[in-house]
Amino acid sequence: MSHADEPISPPVAVDNAAESVASAEPGVSAEPASGARPAAAAGFPPAAAAQALSHAELARAVGMRDQVVAEVARVYIGEDRVIIVLLAALLARGHVLLEGVPGLAKTTLAKAVARVLGCDYRRLQFTPDLLPADITGTFIFNPKSSEFELRRGPLFAQLVLADEINRAPAKTQSALLEAMQERQVTIDGLTLGLPMPFLVLATQNPVEQEGVYLLPEAQVDRFLVRIRLDYPTTADEVQMLQTYNREVAEPEPVASVTDVIALSDLVDRVHVEERVMRYAVRLIQATRSHGRVALGASPRASLGLIRMAKAWALLAGRDYVSPDDLRLLSPVVLEHRVMVTTDAAIEGTTAADVVRDVLRTTPVMETSREGSATLPPAPGGNGGIHWAGDDA
């Protein structure tokens, strides 16, 4: 899929049974979707009033999604889903690991997303001689004032591109752990908070073997999602040549930091049924008990899958998470957290194969003592969000 071949379709209906949509905004259908969350179905109590999202709030999220994709697509020629996953990860307060060979516009993508969202952007080129103080900052003596002054490092930005993160040794990579998990850094005993929103977008080349260091499992687990970029299609590459055959104008900002923080707060109010949570847990536990897995997904993966699904649902114009959201997002949330056994790796089995097998064999339906109960029907469509392999 590409911008030229299959652009994002109009958003589906915004689901909110508690509010009239007679005055729906342009581009948002006023008819309820077939998969709307039931207000009082048996076993599915209605969400608390404080959790309900208004039609205007959902429409605002969908509108920002479309505007961000349209602006970033002016300079980044590729799949729409990559842009949407980045936006969802930012709203979910997570971090992103981009894998791909050089020359796939990873830096262009990061700069465009930061500019469109009005975020402060910094780029870090990781090298073998990079020190932790080079990224966090340090105290510098000022001879004029005879005092030590803090010089903040590039981590003090809202979107940080850690380019070729696997080229730095573990000591430097570990300097990111506190920043990614606690959203703070400690410099000579002084703990400083990082700006909000805060997203680390790290890139690595999975092909190179010389002069690189494997990321520690503890650090890999702190990335909410991993996106694997491949070579562009013929149509995309032709469109790229046509686009860059002349000077390309910078994308225009369509949102502010305040808007991003406000939408991130809306993610907290997206409803998740307990049975959907149980399905997420079964998926995670299936990776741990799989016969070809040496290390399965952690409890942090459970939290990340639900959080990412809530952001995804919000961008789709829904105030609830469906099982389909979990299935769509499991590959990008779980694959980098699963380590196959040595025998499985020798035979060619990958973490992607394991996650596909888990999705195929783990039932959405859960059987209770009272009998068999199923989840409500999945919504028809993904809110205009296209995903690679939808037709598979």
CA distance 336 to 387: 19
CA distance 312 to 383: 9
Predicted confidence band at 327 (pLDDT cuts at 50, 70, 90)?
very high
The position carrying tokens 């894998």 is: 99
Per-residue DSSP letter, 167: G
State pLDDT tens for residues 65-118. Answer: 999 999 999 999 988 999 999 999 999 999 999 998 888 889 899 999 999 999
Predicted confidence band at 2 (pLDDT cuts at 50, 70, 90)?
very low
pLDDT, greater one: 54 or 9: 54
pLDDT, greater one: 30 or 161: 161
State pLDDT tens for residues 229-263. Answer: 989 999 999 999 999 988 888 899 999 999 999 99
Predicted confidence band at 51 (pLDDT cuts at 50, 70, 90)?
low
Per-residue DSSP letter, 128: T
Among 93, 178, 96, 97, smallest CA distance to 132 is for 178
Among 43, 42, 62, smallest CA distance to 312 is for 62
pLDDT above 60: residue 185 = yes
pLDDT above 80: residue 208 = no
State pLDDT tens for residues 218-233. Answer: 788 889 999 999 899 9
Q: What is the mean pLDDT of residues 213-221?
A: 81
Domains of the chain, start order: 1-20+53-269 (3.40.50.300), 271-392 (1.10.8.80)
Q: What is the mean pLDDT of residues 340-354?
A: 91
User: Please, what is the average pLDDT of the chain?
Assistant: 80
HSE-CB for 217 with a 13 A CA cutoff? 12
Peptide bond into 197 cis (omega under 30): yes
Among 206, 211, 156, 208, smallest CA distance to 184 is for 156
Among 345, 331, 357, smallest CA distance to 99 is for 331
CA distance 18 to 319: 11
